[in-house]
Amino acid sequence: MTPEETAREKSLGGIFVFSAYMLWGFLPLYFVSLAPTTPWEVVGWRIVLSLVFCVALIAVTRGWGRMRVILRDRRLLLWTLVAGLLIYVNWQVFLIGTLTGHVVETSLGYFINPIATVLLGVIVLKERLRPAQWTAVGIAAAAVVVIIVAVGNVPWIALTLAASFATYGLVKKRIGPSVDAVSGLTLESFWLVPIAVIQLVAVGVTSGLTMGREGTGHTILLLLAGAITAIPLLFFSAGARRTSLTVVGILQFIAPIMQFLTGVLILHEPMPFERWIGFGLVWVAIAVFAVDSLLASRRQRTRAVTAVPDPV
């Protein structure tokens, strides 16, 4: 691949990743528009329709060969099961937060997710952190303490989202390139179908399912839940393998920023002074984390250049 083609691929990758995070940023508005559907029904349909969408995509792209390879590997199947359970927790808690007036708190979860991912790498993978990274972790921890003390309750939605998605990322790292994005999401959705059926039946016999009962527009939006779940993941997968981790790391803050602005400016969720202090500390931690990542990436590129021997 020529330098021009490489640069073009990296630019295309950045566009894909940017598109993924933009779509994720709009998710709260999409899910709020599904009212009066409950979080439990939304997640039930989201699982079932994601599976339908992915199976159709595999059929169109003739990806059954990749799926058969995965199905023959019990280790990979087990990891996809674990990934499915983790993403279920993430989806369910995100929907509970979004549909109960806690969009700002969901954004907090995704703001601290990169720091939770780094901390998980220390605990599980025995990775070593740079001093600046430890500083960011400490500031983020202080922010959570401030929110707990000042607001008077534990931000369990934010902490669960950060922990579940960070662990999901760790599982995906364990799986590596052995499972492509479409096959992975297909299997994760497949494992969750029993949970989806239980939730839909439970909602059906209690409050009643809203599918088809709230007008054509609502039904169409609910039927799009599978595509809206899968498309950003596919964009992210296509972009992440083309562009650098530094670009991915910087762009990942687009979604929580959009979610925060949605909660404050559009949905008018309360933001008392104490909460602003907590979020301010989180943003300081993110700034420390981002600057350190950029400097570390620059040092690595410099070492790589100086390590290349001069041509003879």
Number of domains in the chain: 1
- According to the model, what pLDDT value does residue 246 have? 61
- According to the model, what pLDDT value does residue 181 have? 80
Within a domain: 234: yes
pLDDT in tens, 142-170: 888 888 877 678 889 999 999 998 888 88
Q: What is the extent of the structural domain holding 158?
A: 3-306
Within a domain: 133: yes
Q: Residue by residue, what is the 3-state secondary structure of 260-287?
A: HHHHHHHCCCCCCHHHHHHHHHHHHHHH
Within a domain: 83: yes
Within a domain: 311: no
pLDDT in tens, 269-278: 988 888 888 8
Q: Which of 67, 50, 89, 96 is nearest to 232 (CA)?
A: 50
pLDDT in tens, 177-223: 788 888 888 999 999 999 999 999 999 999 999 999 999 999 999 99
Burial 175-190 (b: 16+ CB within 10 A, else e): beeebbbbbbbbbbbb
Within a domain: 312: no
Q: Tell me how far apart the alpha carbons of residues 134 and 279 are, in angstroms, rounded to a whole number.
A: 18
Within a domain: 15: yes
Q: Directed axis angle between helix 225-240 and helix 39-61, to 10°?
A: 60
Structure-token pair, residue 172: 């995906």
Cα angle 74, 80, 82; round to 5: 105
Residue 309 pLDDT > 70, yes or no? no
Within a domain: 18: yes
- According to the model, what pLDDT value does residue 312 have? 42
pTM: 0.85
Q: How far is CA 5 from CA 2, 8, 14, 91, 246, in A?
A: 5, 5, 14, 37, 20
Q: What is the DSSP string of 195-246?
A: HHHHHHHHHHHTT---TTTS-HHHHHHHHTHHHHHHHHHHHHHHHHTTS-HH
Within a domain: 277: yes
User: In the predicted model, what is the mean pLDDT of residues 43-59?
Assistant: 93
